[in-house]
Structure 1
Amino acid sequence: MSTDSDSDSAAVRSDSRISPVEPPYEGALSDTFARVMPPGVAPLKLFRTMARNPRVLQRMFAGSFLDQGSITLRDRELVILRTCFRCKCEYEWGVHVAFFSERATLSNEDVAATLKRDPQDLPPHEALLIGLVDQLHDHARVTDELWAGLARHYTEEQMLELIALAGYYHTISFIANAAGVQAEAYAPRFA
């Protein structure tokens, strides 16, 4: 199983297919952005692009996994980073590295492991998370062996959250990639 698939990687677009809304934002949109962004940080280009369809923006925020869930922030971010990498979504991968890697106690080596074919650098239960993302991405299912390994570390509630998280970030990756959302200036790129 290959996870790097450089042969079919799409070139990063130099322009957006859907241009993000620009300030000043109307009242409801301004309030929405204020709820999801840290004070003093401009709304993400992804959010501003999705704002072209307020219904899509609101539904995506309603389904967000950025709240305190049943899994640790570190596990959540490993799943998100690997999902974004597998979807070749450099935009969302970079945003999550910039905003969450420090808070999730992910070292530079941990972040780099999310880009590797076989991340041996991670503790065993975290390598299982990478395997979960890879199997869902490649086959839309999980082997009994991987499920049993995960079940030694995670409850059924957490397993469902991990699966939903990977699916959610597939959708985010689809939007960012297809719409050609341009990288945030502060966000790192794939190494």
Structure 2
Amino acid sequence: MRLTKPRIAPVQDADLTPDQKEILEPMGERVLNIFRTMVQAPKAAKGFLAWGNYVLSRRNDLPAREREIVILRIGYLCKSGYEWTQHHAIGLREGLTAAEIEAIKQGAAAPNWSPADRALLKASDELHNDQFVTDGTWAALTRHFSDKQCMDVVFTAGQYTQVSMILNSFGVQLDAGQVLDPDLKGF
């Protein structure tokens, strides 16, 4: 985690405005710190949630396991302990193994990736480092994914770069019961 305390405090239930309650109510009883923080700017939170819901929905044509490879790689590259922690559990639910999640830290150079997974990792690295997917990596992606899925790789990487910047800069802390990956301590 980059910060040990929030710069923007998450809103507690007793302090929610009507606009904030409206945004958080559909989330049920366990509202994550990211959303409690985002509702400090209700209009921004609404827009953020609309786009974020697309990226995490079935409207995103990238299969969930592959989507999580991109999200986890971006979260790791951005040194976002909160993002990594949340999506580590999601990645496991979506079919990644613990060993694969650990290998995401190494990126495309880690052994045992399929060519499709390697292309996703390379695209994530390129988008993070240069905000551009090279011709060679794009060609590798198109061997395994449709044009729409390739677009969704870029949309997903962009969304989770933004999420990581929000989490890191606002100091969003882990939710109760979560443990920070030791490789993301001290950033």
TM > 0.5: yes
Q: Identify the residue that residue 153 of structure 2 maps to in structure 1.
A: 162
Q: Identify the residue that residue 93 of structure 2 maps to in structure 1.
A: 103
Q: Identify the residue that residue 120 of structure 1 maps to in structure 2.
A: 111
TM-score with structure 2 length normalisation?
0.87
Q: Identify the residue that residue 174 of structure 2 maps to in structure 1.
A: 183
Matches within 5 A, 1:129-144: 129-144=120-135
- SS class of match (1:101): helix
Q: Is the 8 A contact 2:92 2:98 kept in 1?
A: no
Q: Is the 8 A contact 1:82 1:130 kept in 2?
A: yes
Q: Is the 8 A contact 1:79 1:129 kept in 2?
A: yes
Q: Identify the residue that residue 54 of structure 1 maps to in structure 2.
A: 42
Q: Identify the residue that residue 16 of structure 1 maps to in structure 2.
A: 6
> Could you tell me how far apart the structure 1 residues matched to 2:135 and 2:20 are?
45
Identity of aligned residues (%): 31
Residue 14 of structure 1 deviates from its aligned partner by 1.4
Q: Is the 8 A contact 1:78 1:114 kept in 2?
A: yes
Structure 2: where are the runs of 5+ without partners? Answer: none
Matched residue type, 1:18? I
Q: Is the 8 A contact 2:23 2:39 kept in 1?
A: no
Q: Identify the residue that residue 57 of structure 2 maps to in structure 1.
A: 67
Flag the structure with higher helix content: 2
Matched residue type, 2:49? F
**How many residues align structurally?**
177
TM-score with structure 1 length normalisation?
0.86
> Could you tell me how far apart the structure 1 residues matched to 2:150 and 2:82 are?
26
Residue 102 of structure 1 deviates from its aligned partner by 2.8
- SS class of match (1:187): coil
Cα offsets for 1:10-47 (capped at 9, x unmatched): x6321111101001344443343243x3x54x211111
One of 165, 169, 173 as aligned partner of 2:164: 173
Q: Is the 8 A contact 2:82 2:172 kept in 1?
A: yes
Residue 87 of structure 1 deviates from its aligned partner by 0.7
Structure 1: where are the runs of 5+ without partners? Answer: 1-10
